Homo-oligomer: A and B are copies of this chain.
């Protein structure tokens, strides 16, 4: 499958009804994962509001993890060394363990295994990795048909993203994603897709926090010449809407804006994420790079193991 075909499998991935049984009682959820797998945890954290969720991205686990914790390990390959280490520690701490992977060493560790289909790059497997979480907490089924159509609408017409990608590639500017509340994880996903697909540094900042610090640097014209700001998300909060407008006026930045489609935050987030998939893909093509290539990451992994 070439990379564009991989991107196009996303809507089908959300048709999955894969799920796992929740423990009878638990006080908090830790989701452990790195990179293209860990982002599923960050997105879920922003969509599920029933319990505290902590996202863990390293070898260690929080010291408070115990039998009251639902610990979900996510590694598409099942061979991510940080996630394997963290999962073994969570098991020792007595946590309820669920593992989501396409196989690998993780699938052999103690705990409940959810095996998802392999065959694509981890960052193109978001639907496989996120669906078991959404399904187990009852979030996906009410929205499944709309999610399918919304994601499909980007597959059908991504020309508006192609033109932004062309601007980014031509300008050689650094994508600077400015997110509205609810879209923090979407901003991180966009950033990492720019990193891996387009081989560009990229950063995401969040309203209203950025108005307390970053804004002090927005005003300098030599910095304006370094960044390509894009606002993502929508909001019903009037103060946030005012902040975006005033920030733009005070700084003289012109913000490109991607308005999410969909009814619920879940739908809007998945729609906007898929826009970022295409945007980073096209940016890569305009830069005459291979969007699929992650050779440096592979090389690092093999040197780490040696």
Footprint of B on A, CB under 8 Å?
27-28, 34-36, 38, 49-52, 54, 57-60, 62-64, 81-82, 172, 174, 181, 191-192, 194-196, 199-203, 206, 208-209, 211-220, 222-223, 226-227, 237, 239-240, 242-243, 246-247, 250-251, 294, 296-297, 299-300, 303-304
CB of A296 within 8 A of CB of B216, answer yes
User: What's the Cα separation between A202 and B181 when bound, in Å?
Assistant: 22
CB of B294 within 8 A of CB of A216, answer yes
Q: List 7 A-B contacts (CB under 8 A).
A: A58-B181, A59-B181, A192-B212, A192-B214, A195-B216, A246-B303, A250-B296
A223 to chain B: closest residue by CB? B201
CB of B213 within 8 A of CB of A199, answer no
CB of A196 within 8 A of CB of B213, answer yes
A242 / chain B contacts, CB cutoff of 8 Å = 303-304
CB of B34 within 8 A of CB of A49, answer no
**Known contacts A211-B297, A212-B35, A300-B215: A64-B82 contact under CB 8 Å:** no
A62 / chain B contacts, CB cutoff of 8 Å = 49, 52
CB of A222 within 8 A of CB of B172, answer yes
**Known contacts A60-B181, A209-B57: A304-B216 contact under CB 8 Å:** no
A57 / chain B contacts, CB cutoff of 8 Å = 206, 208-209
CB of A239 within 8 A of CB of B304, answer yes
Indicate which residue in B38, B213, B296 contacts A195 across the interface (CB closer than 8 Å). Answer: B213
User: What's the Cα separation between A208 and B81 when bound, in Å?
Assistant: 10
User: What's the Cα separation between A240 and B251 when bound, in Å?
Assistant: 39
Indicate which residue in B50, B203, B216, B240 contacts A196 across the interface (CB closer than 8 Å). Answer: B216
A64 / chain B contacts, CB cutoff of 8 Å = 49-52
CB of B208 within 8 A of CB of A34, answer yes
CB of B35 within 8 A of CB of A209, answer yes
CB of A247 within 8 A of CB of B216, answer no
CB of A214 within 8 A of CB of B195, answer yes
Indicate which residue in B36, B172, B200, B212 contacts A36 across the interface (CB closer than 8 Å). Answer: B212
**Known contacts A35-B209, A54-B54: A214-B243 contact under CB 8 Å:** no
User: What's the Cα separation between A212 and B304 when bound, in Å?
Assistant: 13
A174 / chain B contacts, CB cutoff of 8 Å = 226
CB of B27 within 8 A of CB of A297, answer no
Taking the closest CB of chain B, its distance from the CB of A56, in whole angstroms, is: 11
CB of B52 within 8 A of CB of A52, answer yes
A223 / chain B contacts, CB cutoff of 8 Å = 200-201
CB of A300 within 8 A of CB of B217, answer no
User: What's the Cα separation between A63 and B174 when bound, in Å?
Assistant: 35
User: What's the Cα separation between A38 and B214 when bound, in Å?
Assistant: 14
Residue among A81, A242, A251 with the most chain B CB within 10 A? A242
Taking the closest CB of chain B, its distance from the CB of A183, in whole angstroms, is: 12
Residue among A34, A212, A242, A246 with the most chain B CB within 10 A? A212
A217 / chain B contacts, CB cutoff of 8 Å = 194-195, 199-202
